[in-house]
């Protein structure tokens, strides 16, 4: 499915309501090989982000992709393995976002522009004019992310039992982003039970796999609360390879823009972790 025109009017309405002068920035983060680039391709309905074939991490630098006019997706290298490279990648992400943030703040200050919703295209030309490549903000830490990132999708491999690295990653970013802005996205739903229960024809899980995925989502939500002390919404399970439930990721992004979201959250029981 092509999401580039998905709920555009609703998106514009939300962005105006929150006075966002830049595209809505969504970071796609996660451990290597969980399917971040595949997820971006599924959202864009195009093979633009390079997908890995082997054991080596594929995406090596932060890169942005416009999703429709007003959403910007950030593909990131795999994070969470605790190596030196991991630290460097983390630093790269936060440096890049801080540079962008400084560049458009400077632009608005210098030009006294009216606050307006800007498309990804407009922002690209502003950044070019501001020569943002030369801007430096050293020692930018994840604590500063809150100002720059509007939403984070943390991709988890649903076929893997070991989520230790995913929790490390959440530990790293949690200081910088409000938990309501984080979506835990459990990918590879098609092979969550080693390929059993997946219906190739409907490209959706059968009953048994669906029940497994629902339970897995709640269990991961509980473990994130216990391990990282983060109360996140019930994770979404999906398959980037088959395009299953990818619209749920879109819905999270759009709902998350809504300034009224937090008012409705309180009455929304799906946001509450059920007792063990």
Query: Which listed option, Mg ion, ligand GTP, none, makes contact with residue 35 (CB within 5 to 8 Å by class)?
Result: ligand GTP
Task: State yes or no: residue 239 binds ligand GTP (CB under 6 A).
Answer: yes
Residue with Cβ nearer ligand GTP (133 or 195): 195
Task: State yes or no: residue 94 binds ligand GTP (CB under 6 A).
Answer: no
d(CA 62, CA 83): 18
Residue with Cβ nearer ligand GTP (97 or 185): 185
Taking residues 25 to 54 in sequence order and writing x for each that binds Mg ion by CB under 5 A, - otherwise, the string is -----------xx-----------------
Task: State yes or no: residue 63 binds Mg ion (CB under 5 A).
Answer: no
Applying CB under 6 A, the span of 57-65, 88-96, 163-171, 208-216 interacting with ligand GTP comes to: 57-65
d(CA 253, CA 30): 17
Task: State yes or no: residue 32 binds ligand GTP (CB under 6 A).
Answer: yes
- H-run or E-run covering 109: helix 84-111
d(CA 212, CA 34): 19
Minimum distance of ligand GTP from residue 77's CB (angstroms): 6
d(CA 171, CA 26): 18
Task: Give all strands (DSSP E) within the chain, no chain letters.
Answer: 24-30, 63-67, 71-75, 151-157, 182-187, 198-199, 204-205, 236-237
d(CA 35, CA 158): 10
- Determine which residue in the list 188, 216, 245, 256 makes contact with ligand GTP, applying CB under 6 A: 188
């Amino acid at each position: 499915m092509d999401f580039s025109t998905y709920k555009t009017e609703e998106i514009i309405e939300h962005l105006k309501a929150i006075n966002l002068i830049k595209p809505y920035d969504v970071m796609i983060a996660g451990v290597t090989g969980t399917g971040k680039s595949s997820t971006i391709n599924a959202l864009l309905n195009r093979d633009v982000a390079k997908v890995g074939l082997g054991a080596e991490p594929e995406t090596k630098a932060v890169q942005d992709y416009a999703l429709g006019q007003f959403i910007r997706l950030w593909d990131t290298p795999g994070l969470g393995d605790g190596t030196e490279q991991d630290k460097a990648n983390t630093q790269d992400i936060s440096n890049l976002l801080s540079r962008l943030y400084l560049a458009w703040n400077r632009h608005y200050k210098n030009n006294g522009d009216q606050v307006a919703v800007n498309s990804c295209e407009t922002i690209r030309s502003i950044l070019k004019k501001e020569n943002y490549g030369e801007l430096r903000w050293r020692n930018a830490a994840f604590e500063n992310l809150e100002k720059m990132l509007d939403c984070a999708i943390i991709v988890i491999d649903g076929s893997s039992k070991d989520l230790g690295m995913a929790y490390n990653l959440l530990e790293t970013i949690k200081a910088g982003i409000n938990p309501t802005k984080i979506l835990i996205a459990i990918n590879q739903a098609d092979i969550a039970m080693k390929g059993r229960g997946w219906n190739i024809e409907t490209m959706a899980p059968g009953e048994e796999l669906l029940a497994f995925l629902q339970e897995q989502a709640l269990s991961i939500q509980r473990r994130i609360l216990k391990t990282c002390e983060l109360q996140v919404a019930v994770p979404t399970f999906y398959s980037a390879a088959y395009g299953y439930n990818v619209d749920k990721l879109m819905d999270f992004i759009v709902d998350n823009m809504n300034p009224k979201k937090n008012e409705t959250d309180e009455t929304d029981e799906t946001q509450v972790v059920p007792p063990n």
